[in-house]
Structure 1
Amino acid sequence: MSFSRPISPIEQGYLASAPFLPPFAIQLLVEGAGSIDAAALRQAVAVASEASPGARLVGRGRLWIDSGEPPPVTVLPSLDLDGPALRRPFDLSAGPLSEVLLVTGDPTTIVFRATHATMDARGVLVWATDVLRALRDERPLGARSPLTDDALRRRVAPSPARLSTPLRWPTPLVGAAAHRRHRWRRAIITGNQHALVARTIAAIGSAAGRRSRFMVPVDLRRHERTLAATGNLALPVFLDVTPDQPWAEVHELLLRALAERRELAVSAAEGWADRLPRPVLRAGLSAAERLSRRWDRGICTAAVSHLGRIDLDAFSTDTFNARTVYTLPVHGPFIPVSFSTIELPGHIELTMSHPTGADRAAESLMEAVAAALAPKADGPAPPGARTAPPGARTAPPGARTAPARPGGTSAGDAVGPTVLDAFTRCVRQNPDAVALIGPEGTVSYAELDRRADVVAERLRRLGVGAGDVVGLLADRTPAAMAALWGVLKAGAAYLPLEPSYPPSRLGFLLDDAGAALCLVQRPFVDRLGPRRVIVIEDLPLAGAAPPRTTPAPTDLAYVIYTSGTTGRPKGVQVEHRNLVAYADWALPRLQVDENTRYAFFTSMAFDLGATAYFLPLLAGGSVELVPGEMTPPVLRQIIEGGGVNALKLTPTYLDLINRLDVAPARFRTVVVGGEQLSAAVAARAQRLFGPGCVIVNEYGPTEATIGCVVGTFDPDRDGSDGVVPIGEPAPGTEVLLLDRDGQSAPPGAVGEIHLTGAQLARGYLGRPELDRERFVRLHDGRRAYRTGDLGRLRPDGLLEFVGRSDDQVKVRGYRIEPGEIATVLAEHPAVAHAVVLPHRPAHGHIRLHAYVTTRAPVTEDALRTHLAGLLPPAVMPAKIAVLEEFPQTANGKIDTDSLRAVFRDDAAVSPVADGSDPTAAVVAGIWSQVLRTPVDATDPTADFHQLGGDSLTFLEMLDRVFRQISSATGDDFLTVMRDVTATPTLGTVCRVVRDAQSGRHDS
C-alpha cells in the first residue's frame, strides 16, 4: 500500500518560505571514527526509507506521496559547514526531498538532510537511527504513521485553544533579523546539565540585557509515545523572560507551559496558511520578510530547540564508532537566532544559526551561552580536583614551577626557556662527557653538538625554520639523535616516524603534517618514494657554525602522531615551553643527574621514550641507544650490563623483565607509563631491582607532554594486589575529576580526568573540530584537556586510573566501565594482570569479555566466584580467558585487537534484580517504561535526567506516577513537580508520592 499524507498548514508555510530562505532543511550530522562502506550505506538507506517512507516524499497538490525512490547517497572527501553541500536547497518539484552525505575524511561523518517541509528534527532522527540499524543488519523499527501536527493536535485536543498572547516583535540580539544568508556556529561543552533548554534561555536572556521572548519547539509525540512518524510534529510555546531571571524559574515556566499543553494552541497564521493559495502565501511571507529585515525585528529573540539525550550506541556499527551527533539549526523567517542542543555521554552539542554580517555579535553571544552551560566548580579547588602535592610550589596555568634539584640547583635554572638552553649548558660545562653510547662506541657532548650544527645548517640553507616540520625516519642511532637536535637548533619541529610503518602510512603522516622534507637513515630511503629527503649518514660529522638564532618557548618542538581512539592518526603539537615544563619537575623527581644513564629502546614515534632520550642530555647524563628489534637477550644485556641505571618502559615490558629471571645491576629509577600498572607487577619488580631502586608510576597523555601525574610504588601501601595509583599531579599541573554531567566527582567516585597547566600541548595539527572537542574551556576560562581517562580519588589522597570513558559501554541499559571490572578482577591473588573489553556481536547486545594473565593456576569458575562477591550481575563478563601473556603492539602496549579475536561467539549476561520496596518498585517500573532502559529500584540516588530523561519525559513520568499510585489534585501535581525538579531522584519521587498518599504534602 502506497504511503501518503496531507500537507499540514505549517508545512504549507514552510513550502512558501523555502524559496527565499534556502536550504530550510533539517540536517543531522553523525561524526565518528572508522569507516562506512558507501554501497552498504546506500542499501541501508533504501531499507530504512522503505520502513520510513516519509524519507521518500514528493508533493502532489495538497498531498505528500511516496515516490518509491530511496534518497540519494553522495560521497564527499571533506565537509565545510559553510560550504555548498549543506546549503543546497531541495527541488520541491522533484523528489525525494531528503538525502544522505557520506564524508570519508576525518572525522568520518554521515549527514542526514531533509527539507523541513516534510520532516522535523525528531523525524530525521527516527529515520537516521533506522539507517544505522540497517547498517548493523538489524531490522528497522519503521515510522509509517501519516499523522500530521494538525491532525494529532485535534486528536489530543478536539477543541484546541487559540493563541491568546499576541506575538511581540523584539529587537534581535545580533541584528539583521531576517537575512537570507546565514552562518552556523558550534560549541562542544564538557559535561551534561538537566533543564538544558531553560539554562540556554536564561543565558541568552542575560546576554540580551532586556526582557526577551523565546520560541521553544515542542514535540507532539509526547502525547502519544508509541507514535512512529517522521513528519512535522513540533509546535512552539513562547516564553517571556527577564534578563535577571534564573534558569530554575525559566525551567518552571517551561514545565508549566508543557503541563498546560500550550503548544496545542492554534495561531492565526496557521489559518492563513491553510486557506491561501501557495503563490499568494509566498508573496505575503516574502513581503513580511523584507519588512522584518528593514525594521530589524523578529517574532522572538531566539528559538531554542532540544533533541534530547542520544545514545551513541544507536549510531555505531562494527566498523564505525560514533563520537557525537549534532544538528544545524534551521534559519527560519522572522527568527533572528536559532539554537539547537543535544546531550551526549559526557558532553553537550550546542549549535547556532545567525545572519551573516553579524559575526562579532553572534560570536560573543555563543561564548556567553557556552560559558553559562559549562560545569560549575565549587570554589577554586572543588572536591575531586587535585593540585600539586602538599609542600610543592605551584604556579598558575602557563607559569613554570621550579622544585629543588639535588645539589641546590633548581630545575628551572637548569632547563631554561627551551631544552636547547639546558643541552648547550651541558656541552659548555663538560664537552668531553659521554652523551650517547651505541653499538659502534660513544659520542661526547661536543661531538653530538657539532653533528647537530651540521644538520641545522643544512636545514637553514634549504629554507627550513620556525614553524616548519621536518620528518625523522631513523633507528635509535647517534645519527638520529644528532638529526633530532639539529632540527631543534634550526628552529623547526621534528616529526618522529616508525620505520616499521608501511610506506602508505609514512606518506600520510608526512603529508598531513606538511613536512618540508624528511631526514632519513639510508636503509629506509626506499620507503618514502619520490620525496625530498636528506640521508643523515651522508652529512659530515663537523664543520658547521652554531646557529645564530634560537627557537622561542612558544615555537613547536615536535609533532607526534597518536591514533588513540579516533581512527585517523592525529598530530599533537608540543611546544618548547611544554617540554620545559615537563623537564622542570621530572629531572628532580626521577633523580636525573650527570650520573644517570637511560636505556632508549622504544620507538621514537611514541613519546614514552622521550624521557629516556631528553632528560639525561639536559642534566649531563648519558643515553644508551638500543637499535633494532627488542628481544629477550637484548633486554637481558641492558638489565645486566652494568652501565644502564634507569629505564622508561610500559608495564607489559616490565612484566617481561620480571619473567626473564635476570639480575639487575645498580638501578636507580624505573619509570613505568603508557598502561595501568598492577601492584603485582610493581611488587615483583621492586624485589627484582632491589630497595635502592625507585619504581615510578607516571601518567600523562601525549597531549599533556609525556607525563604530568606521578606516584612512587610503596610496597607497604600498595601491597601486591590491585593496581598502583598514578599518584599526584606534578607541579604546574592540576587534575579535575568530572562526572558525566561535568560536575566535580566526590572522593571515591569515578570521574573523567581533565588536565590543566603548562604542559598542555598547543593542540592537534589541522584538526580544529577535534581541538574543540578535547581541549575544552572550564567555567573559569582555563584551558583543559579532556583525556577520556577515568580516575578516582582514594582515601589517602592519591589518584587511581580506572579505565577509559570511550570504553564505557551500555549493557542492557546499564553504563559500565570495563576498567573498573578489570581492577576488581586484578584483586584476585592469582591474577597478575587483567583487561576487560566490550564485544559487539553482529546481532544482539554488547558483551563484556575479560582476559587475564596469572601468577598461579586459577580456573574461570574461581574468577567468576571472586567477581560475584564484588560486582552486580549486570557487569559480570560473559567470557573470561586465562592467557600465558598478552599480545603487544609496536610500542609495547597490549594489542586489544588481538585479544578480541580470542572469542568468536556470544554469550548472555544476567539482568539486574528488582527491589523489594513496593512504591520504589512501581516508580522504577514507570521510569523504565518512560526512559526505555532498566532502572534499579534499590537505588534511591538514581537520577532521572542522568538516566536519559528530559523535560518532556519528566512530565510524562510524573503524570504516570500520580495517575497510577496517587490521587493528587492538579495543584498538588504542580507543587510536587516543583519539589522533584530540584532533586529528580528515585528517592525524591518515592518520598513525595508517600507524602501525597498520606495527605502530608502542602498544597
Structure 2
Amino acid sequence: MTDTKRRLVQLIHRHADDPGSGTALEQGGRAVTYRELGKLTGERTLELEALGVRGTFVALERSKSVEFVVDFLAVLAAGGTVVPVDPDTPPDRRAVFLELAAPEFLLGETGVLRLGGPRDRGVPRDAAFVYFTSGSTGTPKPVLGSAAAVAGFAEWFGPEFGAGPRDRFAFLTGLSFEAALRDVFPPLVAGATLVLPEEGAADEPEAAVAWLARRDVSVVTVVPSTARAWLAHGRTVCPAVRAVFFVGEPPGADLLGGWRTLFPNTTLRVNSYGSTESGQATVYNRIADDERAAAVPAGRPVPGTRYCFVEPGAVLDAGLVRERLEHPASGGEIVLVSRSCSHGYLGMPQENAARFADLGDGVTAYRTGDLGHVDAGGDLVVVGRADDEIKINGVRVHPAEVLRAVRAHRSVRDAFVTATRAEQDADGTRTRAHLTAYVVPEGDLSVVDLRRDLLDALPPAMIPARFVEVAELPRTRTGKVDRAALTGLAERAAGFVAPSGDVEPRVAAQFAELLGAERVSAADDLFTLGGDSITATRLVSRLWQEFGVRLSQRDVFAAATVAGIAALIMERWLLAEDPDELRALLDALEGDGGLQAGGTS
C-alpha cells in the first residue's frame, strides 16, 4: 500500500481501537461499528491483495451500501485506484467510462470481474480515485484524485466544523460524483456515523426529508436545487440537523430564508466552492444567520489553498500564476493553487497543459473556467463562466458533450445545442439552467425515440429540455451557427395546443400543479417548463396514484410532453387489458378520438 493511501484508511481504522467509538455505518436496521468496519475492510483487503489489485485501477460498481464503503476502503488499502461507477449510469456512458479509465478489475454486486486493463499506468503513487466530469471536447474527462488531498481535508474538516462521534452524516451524493468523498471521509475520520439511505428511501424530496428526520441526521451536504425541492415538498420537520453544506452551486436568498422552516435548529450553514479537478482545494463561506443577499460569496480558501485571477484568453503557465499571486488582479478567470489539487486528467496531456500548471514542490495551479472577483469584505465572488459550461442541478454540463450524443443518433443529420444559464432575480430566486437542441432530421424524426435513445448515452441532467426541429442550421457569413436566428426559430415553434380526450387534461393538471404553471399545452415539455429529475420522480408517483400506471423516470424523460405521457399511459392501459376488453376499449377510443395524443413531442 502506498503511504498516502495507507494513511487515509488508517485515519478511519484508528477508531476501531478506541473503546468509546460507536457506529461507523448505518443503513436501515443494519449498524456497523468502527471495530466491525476495520475487520470487514481487513478481510476484503486480503482478498483483493491475493487477486493482485496493487498498482491497478479497480472499477467499483455497487449500489450505495455498507459493502460499497468497505470495498472502497479495501481497494485503497490494497494499493489500488478506485473508479466508482454508479449502477444507474447510462450503458453507453458506462462503456465510455470503462474505456477511458481502462480498469483491470471490476467489483460488482455479483463478485469480481477481471477486465484486463493495463498495469504500470505511470500515474503518481498517490493516485486514489478516478471521477469523470463533462468534457468541452465532447468526451467525458477522467480526473485522477489524490489520497493525500482527501486525508488533509478530512483532518481539517472535523475540528473546523466541530464534527465528532455524536454527529450523524447523511450519505446522499451520487456515487459517480467527487463530492461523494466529502460525504464519506470527513465523518469517518471524525469518528461520526455515516448514515446511508435504504434503497428508494430518499429518492423523492418528501421522502428524503422524512428519512432525514427519521434517522436523526445532524449534518447534510446538498445541492441547492435539491434543497429547494426539499423545502417545496417536504412535510416533516428535521430538528436534529445542525449543519448544512451547500455544494455544486451557490444558495440564493430564497433558500436561505426558507431553510429553517424544515430545519429549525441549523446553526451552521456553509457554501462550498470547488471542482472535481481542484480536488479538496476549495473555497468556503460560513453563511451568517442574517444573510439574505441574492448572491452568496464563495468565501475564502481552506488552509493550504490560494487563488488568483488570469485573463480568460491567457495561456496558463507557472510564470503567469506566480506573477498573479505576487501582483493580484481584481478579477478575471479563477485559478486555484494548492498542494491538494487532483493529478489532472488521465491520458489527456493537451487538456492538462491547458488547465494545469506545476509550480514545483508539490503545488499545482488549476484553471477553473469560472469568472470572479473579490468583494469589499475580501471574499471570492463567482460571477459566471469563461466558456459555455453550465450546471444543471449541480451537475457540470458542456453542450459539446451533449451535441456529440445528439449528432450520433441515426435520425439526426445535423444538430446544435445551446445552453441557457441559471439566473438569480433580485429577490434571490433562481431560474433553472437548461439546454435546447436544434435538430436537422435525417428522414422521419421521433423526439420520443431520440430522447429515449439519448438516455443510454447521457445522464438525465444532460438531456436537453427542449428539441426544436429545423430544416437547416442558420449560419453567419463566417460559417458559424447563427445563435440569434436559432432563438427566433425556437420562439416561432412554440404554440398552444389544448389538451384533449380524457387523459391529457389530467396529465396537464399534474404538470401545472408541480410546476406552478397557469396554463399547460398538450405540446408542453415538462423540462422546458422548468422541471428536472426531481420533478420527474414526483410526477411518476402522482401518475401512479392518478392512473394506476407505474412509469419510470426514464419513461418521463423520453415522453416528456403532456401528449406523449398521456399516450404512454393509454398504451400501458391497453397492454393490461385482455383481448376482448381490449377490442371494446379500442372501439370506444376510436369513437371519441381518444387516440389522438399520438405520443410525439
Instruction: Find the partner of 1:521 among 106, 109, 116.
Output: 109
Q: Deviations over 1:286-341 (max 9, x none)?
A: xxxxxxxxxxxxxxxxxxxxxxxxxxxxxxxxxxxxxxxxxxxxxxxxxxxxxxxx
- Pairwise CA RMSD: 4.2
Q: Distance in 1 between matches of 2:50 and 2:6?
A: 26
Instruction: Find the partner of 2:271 among 693, 697, 709.
Output: 697
User: Is 1:599–1:624's contact at 8 Å kept on the other side of the alignment?
Assistant: yes
Instruction: Find the partner of 2:148 among 577, 584, 591.
Output: 577
User: Is 1:686–1:695's contact at 8 Å kept on the other side of the alignment?
Assistant: no
Give 1:450 shift: 1.0
1:426 aligns with 2:18: no
Give SS of 1:801's match: strand
Match of 2:564 in 1: none
Q: Which runs of 5+ in 2 are unaligned?
A: 118-122, 315-319, 391-417, 439-469, 476-481, 491-511, 519-526, 538-553, 562-601
Instruction: Find the partner of 1:762 among 340, 343, 361.
Output: 343
Give SS of 1:740's match: coil
Instruction: Find the partner of 1:461 among 24, 38, 50.
Output: 50
Q: Distance in 2 between matches of 1:436 and 1:780?
A: 37
Q: Distance in 1 between matches of 2:135 and 2:164?
A: 33
Distance change >3 Å, CA 489–CA 748, structure 1 → 2? closer
User: Is 1:699–1:726's contact at 8 Å kept on the other side of the alignment?
Assistant: yes
User: Is 1:699–1:707's contact at 8 Å kept on the other side of the alignment?
Assistant: no
Q: Distance in 2 between matches of 1:506 and 1:688?
A: 37
Q: Distance in 2 between matches of 1:780 and 1:741?
A: 27
Q: Deviations over 1:38-96 (max 9, x none)?
A: xxxxxxxxxxxxxxxxxxxxxxxxxxxxxxxxxxxxxxxxxxxxxxxxxxxxxxxxxxx
User: Is 2:356–2:366's contact at 8 Å kept on the other side of the alignment?
Assistant: yes
Aligned residue identity for 2:258: R
Give SS of 1:755's match: strand
Instruction: Find the partner of 1:620 among 191, 203, 208.
Output: 191
Match of 2:66 in 1: 478
User: Is 1:578–1:705's contact at 8 Å kept on the other side of the alignment?
Assistant: yes
User: Is 2:133–2:140's contact at 8 Å kept on the other side of the alignment?
Assistant: yes
User: Is 1:430–1:445's contact at 8 Å kept on the other side of the alignment?
Assistant: no
Give 1:714 shift: 2.1
Distance change >3 Å, CA 572–CA 431, structure 1 → 2? farther
Distance change >3 Å, CA 858–CA 619, structure 1 → 2? same
Q: Distance in 1 between matches of 2:160 and 2:78?
A: 30
Distance change >3 Å, CA 856–CA 420, structure 1 → 2? closer
Match of 1:599 in 2: 170
User: Is 1:658–1:688's contact at 8 Å kept on the other side of the alignment?
Assistant: yes
Equivalenced residues, count: 425
Match of 1:671 in 2: 245
Q: Deviations over 1:460-481 (max 9, x none)?
A: 111221x311111111111111
Q: Distance in 2 between matches of 1:883 and 1:750?
A: 35
1:708 aligns with 2:345: no
Distance change >3 Å, CA 807–CA 502, structure 1 → 2? closer
Distance change >3 Å, CA 694–CA 634, structure 1 → 2? same
Distance change >3 Å, CA 741–CA 569, structure 1 → 2? closer
Give 1:613 shift: 1.3
Give 1:836 shift: 7.3
Q: Distance in 2 between matches of 1:422 and 1:686?
A: 34
1:638 aligns with 2:211: yes
Distance change >3 Å, CA 488–CA 747, structure 1 → 2? closer
Q: Distance in 2 between matches of 1:645 and 1:585?
A: 19
Give 1:776 shift: 2.5
Q: Which has the larger radius of gyration?
A: 1
Please give the residue correspondences for 1:884-899 in structure 2 after superposition, counting only pairs within 5 Å.
885-887=531-533
Q: Normalising by the residue count of structure 1, what TM-score does the alignment of the two structures yield?
A: 0.38
Give SS of 1:653's match: helix
Give 1:727 shift: 0.9
1:774 aligns with 2:355: yes
User: Is 1:597–1:644's contact at 8 Å kept on the other side of the alignment?
Assistant: yes
Match of 2:571 in 1: none
Aligned residue identity for 2:254: A
Provide the identity percentage: 27
Give SS of 1:476's match: coil
Aligned residue identity for 1:843: P
Q: Distance in 2 between matches of 1:620 and 1:468?
A: 29
Q: Deviations over 1:154-195 (max 9, x none)?
A: xxxxxxxxxxxxxxxxxxxxxxxxxxxxxxxxxxxxxxxxxx
Match of 2:304 in 1: 732
Distance change >3 Å, CA 437–CA 642, structure 1 → 2? closer
Q: Deviations over 1:227-282 (max 9, x none)?
A: xxxxxxxxxxxxxxxxxxxxxxxxxxxxxxxxxxxxxxxxxxxxxxxxxxxxxxxx
Give 1:458 shift: 1.0
Aligned residue identity for 2:332: G
Aligned residue identity for 1:560: Y
Match of 2:433 in 1: 835
User: Is 1:561–1:571's contact at 8 Å kept on the other side of the alignment?
Assistant: yes
Q: Distance in 2 between matches of 1:439 and 1:750?
A: 48
Give 1:502 shift: 3.6
1:807 aligns with 2:438: no
Give 1:570 shift: 1.9
User: Is 2:21–2:191's contact at 8 Å kept on the other side of the alignment?
Assistant: no
1:846 aligns with 2:483: yes
Distance change >3 Å, CA 808–CA 496, structure 1 → 2? closer
Instruction: Find the partner of 1:512 among 96, 100, 114.
Output: 100
User: Is 1:673–1:697's contact at 8 Å kept on the other side of the alignment?
Assistant: yes
Q: Deviations over 1:754-788 (max 9, x none)?
A: 11112111121111121111113579996311111
Match of 2:377 in 1: 796
Match of 1:499 in 2: 87
Q: Which runs of 5+ in 1 are unaligned?
A: 1-414, 534-551, 810-816, 860-880, 903-1003
